[in-house]
Structure 1
Amino acid sequence: MRQKQRHPLQAMGLMSAILSQLVGSTLIGVFTGRWLDRFFHTTPLFLIVGLLLGLALGVYAMLRLVHHFFSGD
């Protein structure tokens, strides 16, 4: 099978989208966790939970994006 030729700028766009999704979801998780910690007076609990959820959602979104990029849809 012959692979589809892609422009180098498409790869740069993919890397930028991956970076923004990973960083954005992680930051949202961290700041939401910090806010919940201040609200409920539980110092590191929600920060850690928010960090882990943000990372997990970022990786999931990254995998969906890469799958979509390489499937050609």
Structure 2
Amino acid sequence: MRQKPRHPLHAMGLMSAILSQLVGSTLIGIFGGKWLDHHFKTEPLFLVVGLLLGLATGIYAMYKLVHHYFSGE
């Protein structure tokens, strides 16, 4: 299977998308966890859970994006 040549801007776009997905999902998890901690008065519990869920979601989205990029679809 031969890979077609890609423009360097495609790689920059891929890296930007990966960064925004990882940072965005992690921040949503952190702020959502802080909000739930404030609402239920359980200080670090939901913050840690939100952080871990945000990281897992970001890694999964990154995997799907990279897989889609290299599959040529």
Same fold (TM over 0.5): yes
**Shift of residue 2 of structure 1?**
2.1
What one-letter code is carried by the residue in structure 2 that aligns with 1:27?
Answer: L
Q: Whole-Å Cα distance in 2 between the matches of residues 2 and 35 of structure 1?
A: 49
Instruction: Give the structure-1-normalised TM-score.
Output: 0.98
What one-letter code is carried by the residue in structure 1 that aligns with 2:35?
Answer: W
Map Cα deviations across residues 33-61 of structure 1 (whole Å, 9 max, x no partner): 00000000000000000000000000000
What one-letter code is carried by the residue in structure 1 that aligns with 2:30?
Answer: V
Aligned to 1:59, the other structure's residue is in SS state helix
What one-letter code is carried by the residue in structure 2 that aligns with 1:39?
Answer: H
Q: Which runs of 5+ in 2 are unaligned?
A: none
Instruction: Give the structure-2-normalised TM-score.
Output: 0.98
Instruction: Give runs of ≥4 in structure 1 deviating > 6 Å.
Output: none
Aligned residues: 73
Provide the identity percentage. Answer: 78
Q: Whole-Å Cα distance in 2 between the matches of residues 2 and 51 of structure 1?
A: 40
